[in-house]
Structure 1
Amino acid sequence: MLSLKLPRLQRIEQMPKVFHEHGILFGYRHPQSSATACILSLFQMTNETINIWTHLLPFWFFVWRFVTALYVTDIQNDSYSWPMLVYMCTSCVYPFVSSCAHTFSSMSKNARHICYFLDYGAVNLFSLGSAIAYSAYTFPDALVCTAFHDYYLALAVLNTMLSTGLSCYSRFLEIQRPRLSKLLRILAFAYPYTWDSLPIFYRLFLFPGENAGNEATLYHQKHMVMTLLATFLYSAHLPECLAPGRFDYIGHSHQLFHVCVILATHMQMEAILLDKTLRKEWLLATSKPISFPQLAGAIFLCIIFSLSNIIYFSAALYRIPEPELHKKES
């Protein structure tokens, strides 16, 4: 009976241009779906179904890891573990928001943009969570308590603000200048990732001797490989660009991108937890744990400025005349 109520799917030529995905010809949901229809599509094979589930299921896995960490941590007294808890919380936020964005992105043109604005904000919050954990646990011995370490987190906050603004702005170029839009979005996420990962690059490539006996090294390497593969898949549209219509439902690049991102996060989490445990004695003797005001201030600023960007660009969707925003759709 449920199958009789599921929304009818559309072909690419039936969809407004803003909904088109490169190399995906079939399996589109109606561009003005109701919220109920969007939720029902979770149980219907569309070209978005696996995109949704490849983040929704890992969300529950990361929630389990987070709750387990909370259960064994003395939150009030163990300030050394606070950055880890912040990181694990942000690792739950981004897959949940992403799965919601993919679920409800077919409600309208503007709803699609706003859903992905929120998705970009969540990704940047996770980027900041990664920087907080790196600052607390993974910094190379030679860089701990240096000027770079002192300003690392402040610049990571600034990066999240700039990245959210640039990635949201890129959506306004999708129809008229799709290649520039894609390039700007990749740069918007590649720059914060590169900044956040500088301590890891330093450890792995400049002074690999520091990693002797540290089990986290292999996980850092795997995280880097999976992140590079995710970036490639996101930008290359493989394999669907080679055989349009053949990978509409299973196996297209965005699904593979999601899988690689989740695997990268898992590898990163394992590396951070190992660094936290193995380097605890040295770090506590050498540097002060990140204070609660520093953690709260960084997260608060990220959320406030990211939401400000999202609200500004969402309002701009309604200020810009429809023909101007989508004038190449006809």
Structure 2
Amino acid sequence: MRALTRSFLLFAAILLVAELAARFAFVRTMEGRFDYGYHPTAGFVETSDGQIELQRSGGRRFFPQTFAKERPAGVYRVIVIGDSVARGKDVPLSYTGQLEKKLRDQGIQAECINMALPGFGARRKDLVLQQAMKYQPSLIVLHVGFSNEYEDEREWKRRDDFNSPHPKNWLMHSLVMRQFYEMKTEKIYWQWLPNSVRDQSGISDANMEMQASEDETIQREWQARLEKVTQDGLQRLRAAQIPTVLVLQASNTRKPDGQGGIVLDDELLNTWTAPLESDLVARVRMKEAIPATQVQQLYSDTNHVRPEGHRLIAAQILRTLQQKGWLPAK
């Protein structure tokens, strides 16, 4: 019994030291760690020399990029906000990087910043948008889709659970215990778990997403939220007089005739975004940027496009900017 008591006290002491270290020595790196993308500034790090560094933290897996907080004179700054489709494989191959190249080829001193994040739905993209507006963008490109609302809802609930006063969550108020929890969810020690545990975790999450996708009430709620959040964001951008291009996601689906053909579908997005066009809001439809005859070659799955697809989207954005007269004089 005495040995057991000593072991317990030693374990408790180790946990206490680890907790103090987490709260005082690593407090900056822990910012937003358990907000799952809902922390307003996680991933945005301002340096002492006035630079902004995009970092992978707080549930935001930004591509590492650095830019001046104050937009330099003469620079045409474009900030792209979206999900994994807009993010692409890397910055140069995404339509962010390819748009920058096209603008510079035309003699424009362009700076295009990729703030797209995998798994982000309307609410979390809107938080990124609010932060991005602080960096004096000349143009915002907002990628609009409906494939990540489940992830937004799931991470919102996880965030609430960690901040709940319920006794079942008391241990989660410890940063050390939260980190142990995250090691499981991020599969850091996944390979040492039995296959039955790993399979059940993946099946459970997939089943929940499937159930949500088949629940018409949930889908209507999420659709209404997507529309409202997008419209609220556009109102803020209009008040700041920031031109905005909405890139509408198009998913490839089989033709209903059963002949095995592929078509691009964005009808729901196209319908409710059409009235949003104005002197400060333009739209680019992936459905129009991607040739119907090249869908199978340019799409890597239902939603994501390969680098050549990103190039075509960038070209369509450029044409739209030229038509709207939004490009700066050379």
**What TM-score do you get using the length of structure 2 for normalisation?**
0.27
Structure holding more strand per residue: 2
**Which of 1 and 2 has higher RCO (CA within 8 Å, sep 6+)?**
1
* Greater gyration radius: 2
* Higher share of residues assigned helix: 1
